[in-house]
Amino acid sequence: MTRERPDKKGGARLPRRKSGPALFLLGAGALLLGLMFAHAGLQRRADMPLLESPAGMVGRLELTDLCLFTEARYTRHPSQADLHSAFQDHPVALEHFPAGSMGRTPSGLRRLHAALD
């Protein structure tokens, strides 16, 4: 039996080794994940001075909360709200509790709320 290498003309058309692209993808994934951490680190350092601005305003104006959810007073100032105020402020504003995530407000009620103001 022969054990010598194949001639070149046969070699050219051969299917490529399939683990190559797989290893490349795995490596690229790992590399990008690494870059992700590096980017996060750099971005964090760059953002720190930017955070000084809101942090300074919090100190100056004696603010207690982030202005994230402005829909109701207990969401605008969750730390200042009454305990369990979700049930007090608005008849259908339940989303402070898990059940609120499941159902949406009937549209009629929302209009009623606007008309009352």
Partner 1 sequence: MIRLQNVRKGFNLGKSNEFVAVSDVTMAMEEKRVTVLKGPSGSGKTTLLSLIGCMARPTSGRITLENGLVRNGALAAVGGAADVEVTSLPERFLTEIRRQTFGFIFQQFNLVKGISVLENVMLPSYPTGEKHAVVRGRAMALLEMFGLAERASARVEWLSGGEAQRVAIARALMNDPPVLIADEPTAHLDSKLSREFLEILSRLKDQGKTAIIASHDPLVFEAGDVDRVIAVRDGRIEDEAA
Partner 2 sequence: MPRWIEKTRSILDFTVASLLRRKGKNFSLLVVYTLVVFLLGSVLFLTQAMKREASLILKNAPEMVVQRLLAGRYEPIPAVYAATIREIRGVMSAGPRLWGYYYDPAAGANYTLLVPREDAPSGEKIVVGRGVSGSRRIFQGDIVSFRGSDGADRNFTVADELSHESELVSSDLILMSEAGFRDLFGFPAGLATDIVVSVRNPKELLTIARKVVERLPDTRPILREEMVRTYDSVFDWRGGIVIVLVLMALLAFVILAWEKASGLSADEKREIGVLKAVGWETADVTAVKACEGIVVSFLSFSAGLLAAYAHVFFFSARLFAPAMKGWSVLYPDFRITPFIDPYQVAVLFFLTVVPYTVATIVPSWRAAIIDPDSVMRS
Interface with partner 1, residue 13, by CB under 8 A: yes
Q: What is the DSSP letter of 65?
A: S
Residue 14 touches partner 1, criterion: CB under 8 A: yes
User: 47-53: long-range contacts (C-beta < 8 A, 24 or more apart)?
Assistant: none
- Dist CA 117 CA 111 (whole Å): 10
CB contact burial 65-101 (16+ within 10 A = b; e otherwise): eeeeeeebebbeeeeebeeebbeeebeebbbbeeeee
Chain positions 15 to 74 lying near partner 1, rule: CB under 8 A, are 15, 17
One residue of 1, 12, 14, 114 binding partner 2 per CB under 8 A: 114
Tally Cβ neighbours within 10 Å of residue 26.
Answer: 11
Q: Which of partner 2, partner 1, none lies near 38, with the C-beta cut-off 5 to 8 A by kind? A: none
Q: How many residues bind partner 1 (CB under 8 A)?
A: 13
User: Per CB under 8 A, which of residues 55..94 are in contact with partner 2?
Assistant: 55-73, 75-80, 82, 85, 88
4 binds, among partner 2, partner 1, none (CB under 5 to 8 A by kind): partner 1
For partner 1, the binding residues (CB under 8 A) are: 1-7, 10-11, 13-15, 17
